[in-house]
């Protein structure tokens, strides 16, 4: 006989986070899911924008911005998803940004 099961594993970043100045480094596994967080609890609530390699992030079936920009979810990770991601939070009092270097290992 044969028995099979499938499991959905969700891994939330930060996974092995290392701070390099203002840049964080995240390592993820190919084929998995990655959720990056832009931890901004400013008042008034900020407008959050995500960028990849310094260009505005284009959402698609695998890359979605959630919770008003606070999270970036990337599904079915591949080597091409590696690189520098950044989020910029802006409100009437100013703005701040966070850079995240993502490495995908197969």
The CATH number linked to 87 is 2.60.40.10
For residue 81, give the DSSP letter: G
Tell me if 9 is assigned to some domain: no
Q: Is residue 36 included in any domain, yes or no?
A: yes
**Residue pLDDT, tens place only, 81-96:** 999 999 988 888 888 8
For 22-73, what is each residue's pLDDT tens digit?
678 899 999 999 999 987 777 788 899 999 999 999 999 999 999 999 999 9
In this structure, is residue 14 part of a structural domain? no
Is the residue at 13 inside a domain?
no
Q: Is 99 exposed, middle or buried (0-12, 13-18, 19+ CB in 10 A)?
A: middle
Provide the pLDDT confidence category of residue 6 given band limits of 50, 70 and 90. Answer: low
Domain assignment present for 82: yes
The answer to whether position 56 is within a domain reads yes
DSSP 49-95: EEEETTEEPPP-SSEEEEGGGTEEEE-S--GGG-EEEEEEEEETTEE
In a domain, 57, yes or no: yes
What pLDDT sits at residue 44? 81
Structural domain harbouring 79: 24-104
pTM: 0.76
Distance of CA 19 to the CA centre of its chain: 15
Q: Is residue 3 assigned to a domain?
A: no
Q: How many domains does the chain have?
A: 1
């Amino acid at each position: 006989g044969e028995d099979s099961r499938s499991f959905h594993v969700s891994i939330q970043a930060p996974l092995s986070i290392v701070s390099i100045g203002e840049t964080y480094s995240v390592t993820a596994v190919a084929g998995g899911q990655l959720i990056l967080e832009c931890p901004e609890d400013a008042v008034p609530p900020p407008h959050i924008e995500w960028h990849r390699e310094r260009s505005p992030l284009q959402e698609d079936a695998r890359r979605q911005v959630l919770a008003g920009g606070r999270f970036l979810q990337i599904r079915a990770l591949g080597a091409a998803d590696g690189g520098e991601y950044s989020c910029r939070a802006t409100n009437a009092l100013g703005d701040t940004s966070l850079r995240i270097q993502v490495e995908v290992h197969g």
